[in-house]
Amino acid sequence: MGRLRRLLLVVLVLIVAAAGVVFAIENPQPVSIVVLGRSAPQLPVSLLLTLAFLMGMIIAPIFTALVLLRRRRLPGKGL
């Protein structure tokens, strides 16, 4: 069962990676993002979306950990 699970994980990772490569090839146009009046350098759309995705992958577990720590400190408070 462990081998099948590992194989499915590898296949899933390969599909996501292939989709990312296709997306990067299809979206090479440089764009500039303006945030709070400041303009970022022009970067390809695919790179900006990849960076946003990676930032979400980093920030989400941090917030989840903070919520779980808060719940442990306040045992009587539930949702």
- How do residues 48-59 score in pLDDT, each as one tens digit? 888 898 999 999
Question: How far is residue 51 from each of residues 2, 28, 35, 41, 46, measured CA to CA in Å?
Answer: 32, 15, 15, 14, 9
Compute how many other C-beta atoms are within 10 angstroms of the C-beta atom of residue 28.
Answer: 10
* pLDDT at 3 > cutoff 60: yes
Domain extents in the chain? 2-73
Beta strands 34-35; 30-31: pairing state: unpaired
pLDDT tens digits, 10-40: 999 999 889 988 988 888 899 998 989 999 8
pTM of the model: 0.61
* pLDDT at 45 > cutoff 80: yes
